[in-house]
């Protein structure tokens, strides 16, 4: 019998030693009084100077104060120096409370998992639990690293039991820790946060819908899709945009509905998104050519004005005279130039009014502040400005005050514009403009013929004549053969690269050194500034001899050094 007892005692000793050997520290703790005693303390985590401390909460606080715990984990570990926080969690029925952190261990650092293990017989009358510290395993370290990474994005992370309406703080601001210590339920946290005026009034409805715990339970019973809510929360004296996200934890099940709540600052991101959205909407409402508002925006604004019923309202309706003839005689580019000129003048003279291009040659200005007389005065200046560029318009104006009928005002302005246009085409103005356009067309043709004659004259002697800005490596051609245009395009229009390709393809290798010298633009510019005429002859692969001369032009400046490169045939 005594052998059996001895054997039983040996087994208990073996089990006890096996259970404790993985722990660096074990302490029996009274969570009400703070009294504690160590059952085990390894040398690795034996903290010098702590021998006289008899209260576990003071012991943990001193560890943080002495900076044994790394700063990024200090706030989370420091919670366990708060008796109310520990008692609330233990007496709410939690059997195991775990927190991992990184701390000093001698001269090195160690990952530690701290745990509070609650016996079944623990009550407020018998408040004894076990505090343990052990070296964290690899999976725990990986998880904590991931949470630290997330913490860079999220300033609040909570672990929520949706069924029990409870929560655990993984990461939060100090003020939120204080809130957590006073509240047991996540629904109470959410309500308290809003009741304290931390949610912008206009966002309260969306916030309360998102934080309805019954709705949260129903959503995740039916779907695993994350829930999101964007709202403005108080930050000091202002409200900034934040976003809450609820996602099912990896351990989520119907019996264990664990969710993770992430909260992050999205203020700058949201404002940038809003700016992009406004730009997109504005682009959709703009005429691509003139950048004035288009007919779609015109119709939307008219609808807005009908509903608004403004106290005063005026409309200027414009038609570009001769646009069709200009397109036919001088090409569509000239017609586009005319439309852009009209748009630019309207922007200049009506800076505060909405301006629209509503058709091919029709423009409208709407105003709630300008009277009909002011519209006429400004229109006279617009006509003079356009007339100086040889552009003419037909225009109509109408205005009203009190009991304004927006459609009637716009319709009357359009009718007046039509009458002005009829008068224009019935008089000599239209014929004079056609004659001017015919004269301009003849001049353009003559100039083109002159240029063609010049090129034909020099093409027999010169194989290329280019103006080259050495500072920007950009060419302007006086005469450029087709093959060199192809080389420029292949080399992104960099003259130096194109010339190097020319030498490699068409010039004998023995002359490549000459091209290398002139493509050193710094040296070339210095030679030209000294008055040197840079020139050399070379032979092409087809045995044709060529001669290149490079001269400085007079129109140089601080940011431009223009030269002329002349390639001629023959030995010279």
**Residue-level pLDDT at 568:** 85
What 220-225 contacts at long range (C-beta under 8 Å, 24+ apart), as own/partner pairs, is 220/162, 220/246, 220/248, 220/252, 220/257, 220/259, 221/254, 221/257, 224/248, 224/252
CB-based contact 313:404 (threshold 8 Å) = yes
**Residue-level pLDDT at 164:** 92
CB-based contact 200:231 (threshold 8 Å) = yes
Containing 557, the helix (H) or strand (E) segment is none
Backbone angles phi, psi at 520, to 5 degrees: -85, 90
Question: 118 forms bridges with which residues in the sheet?
Answer: none
**Residue-level pLDDT at 445:** 45
CA 236 to CA 215: how far, in whole Å? 31
CB-based contact 258:233 (threshold 8 Å) = no
Containing 100, the helix (H) or strand (E) segment is strand 96-105
Closest CA to 206 of 229, 226, 228: 229
**Residue-level pLDDT at 477:** 66
Q: Where are the alpha helices (DSSP H) in 482-566?
A: 482-490, 495-506, 512-518, 521-529
Question: Hey, what are 278's tokens?
Answer: 């406004």
For residue 406, count other CB atoms closer than 10 A to its CB.
Answer: 21
**Residue-level pLDDT at 10:** 54
Q: Inter-axis angle of helices 428-459 and 406-426, to 10 degrees?
A: 70
Closest CA to 151 of 97, 73, 53: 73
* Torsion of the alpha carbons at 145, 149, 150 and 155, rounded to the nearest 10: 110
State the Cα angle at 499 between 498 and 501, rounded to 5°: 65
Contacts (Cβ under 8 Å, ≥6 apart) of 480:
464, 465, 466
Contacts (Cβ under 8 Å, ≥6 apart) of 103:
63, 68, 69, 70, 73, 109, 110, 112
CA 26 to CA 36: how far, in whole Å? 10
Cα 244 from chain centroid? 20
Q: Which residues of the chain have pLDDT under 50?
A: 1-9, 11-12, 14-15, 18, 442, 445-446, 448-450, 453-454, 572
**Residue-level pLDDT at 15:** 44
**Residue-level pLDDT at 390:** 84
- DSSP code per residue over 262-317: EEEE-HHHHHHHHHHHHHHHHHHTB-TTT-SB-HHHHHHHHHHHHHH--SEEEEEE
Containing 540, the helix (H) or strand (E) segment is none
Contacts (Cβ under 8 Å, ≥6 apart) of 99:
76, 77, 79, 80, 113, 114, 115
For residue 502, count other CB atoms closer than 10 A to its CB.
Answer: 19
Question: 97 forms bridges with which residues in the sheet?
Answer: 116
**Residue-level pLDDT at 380:** 92
- 255: three-class secondary structure by DSSP: coil
Closest CA to 25 of 38, 12, 16: 38
**Residue-level pLDDT at 246:** 93
For residue 89, count other CB atoms closer than 10 A to its CB.
Answer: 20
Domains of the chain by start residue, with CATH: 13-136 (3.30.450), 152-283 (3.30.450.20), 285-431 (3.30.70.270), 461-569 (3.30.450)
Closest CA to 245 of 143, 317, 158: 158
CB-based contact 31:140 (threshold 8 Å) = no
Q: Taking the model in full, what pTM does it have?
A: 0.40
**Residue-level pLDDT at 3:** 38
């Amino acid at each position: 019998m005594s052998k059996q007892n001895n054997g039983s005692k040996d087994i208990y000793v073996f089990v006890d030693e096996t259970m404790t050997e993985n722990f660096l520290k074990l302490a029996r703790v009274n969570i009400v009084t703070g009294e504690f005693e160590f059952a085990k303390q390894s040398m690795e985590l034996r903290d010098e100077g702590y021998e006289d401390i008899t209260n576990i909460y003071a012991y943990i606080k001193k560890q943080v104060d002495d900076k044994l715990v790394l700063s990024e984990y200090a706030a989370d570990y420091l919670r366990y120096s708060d008796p109310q926080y520990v008692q609330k969690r233990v007496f709410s029925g939690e059997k195991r409370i775990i927190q991992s952190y990184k701390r000093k261990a001698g001269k090195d650092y160690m990952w530690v998992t701290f745990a509070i293990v609650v016996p079944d017989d623990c009550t407020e009358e018998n408040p004894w639990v076990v505090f343990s510290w052990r070296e964290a395993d690899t999976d725990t370290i990986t998880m904590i690293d991931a949470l630290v990474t997330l913490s860079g994005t999220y300033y609040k992370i909570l672990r929520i039991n949706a069924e029990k309406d409870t929560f655990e703080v993984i990461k939060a601001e100090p003020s939120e820790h204080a809130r957590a210590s006073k509240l047991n339920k996540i629904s109470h946290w959410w309500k308290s946060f809003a009741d304290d005026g931390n949610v912008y009034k206009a966002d309260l409805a969306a916030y309360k819908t998102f934080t309805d715990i019954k709705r949260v339970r129903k959503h995740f019973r039916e779907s695993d899709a994350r829930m999101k809510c964007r709202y403005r929360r108080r930050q000091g004296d202002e409200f900034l945009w934040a976003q809450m996200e609820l996602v099912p934890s990896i351990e989520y099940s119907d019996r264990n509905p664990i969710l993770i709540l992430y909260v992050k600052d999205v203020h700058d991101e949201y404002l940038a998104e809003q700016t992009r959205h406004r730009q997109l909407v504005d682009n959709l409402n703009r005429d691509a050519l003139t950048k004035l508002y288009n007919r779609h925006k015109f119709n939307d604004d008219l609808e807005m004005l009908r509903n608004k019923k403004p106290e005063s309202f005026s409309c200027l309706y414009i038609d570009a005279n001769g646009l069709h003839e200009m397109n036919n005689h001088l090409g569509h580019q000239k017609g586009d130039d005319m439309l852009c000129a009209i748009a630019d003048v309207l922007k200049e003279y009506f800076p505060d009014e909405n301006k629209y291009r509503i058709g091919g040659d029709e423009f409208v200005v709407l105003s709630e502040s300008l009277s009909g007389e002011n519209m006429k005065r400004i229109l006279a200046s617009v006509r003079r400005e356009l007339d100086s560029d040889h552009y003419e318009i037909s225009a109509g104006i109408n205005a009203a005050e009190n009991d304004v009928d927006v459609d009637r005002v716009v319709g009357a302005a359009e009718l007046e514009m039509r009458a002005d246009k009829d008068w224009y085409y019935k008089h000599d103005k239209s014929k004079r403009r056609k004659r001017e356009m015919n004269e301009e067309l003849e001049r353009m043709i003559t100039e083109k013929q002159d240029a063609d004659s010049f090129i034909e004259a020099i093409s027999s002697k010169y194989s290329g004549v280019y103006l080259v800005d050495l500072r920007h490596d950009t060419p302007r051609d006086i005469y450029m053969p087709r093959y060199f245009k192809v080389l420029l395009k292949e080399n992104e229009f960099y003259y130096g690269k194109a010339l190097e390709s020319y030498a490699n393809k068409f010039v004998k290798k023995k002359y490549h050194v000459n091209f290398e010298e002139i493509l050193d633009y710094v040296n070339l510019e210095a030679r030209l500034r000294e008055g040197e005429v840079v020139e050399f002859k070379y032979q092409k692969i087809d045995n044709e001899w060529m001669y290149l001369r490079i001269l400085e032009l007079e129109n140089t400046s601080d940011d431009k050094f223009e030269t002329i490169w002349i390639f001629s045939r023959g030995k010279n």
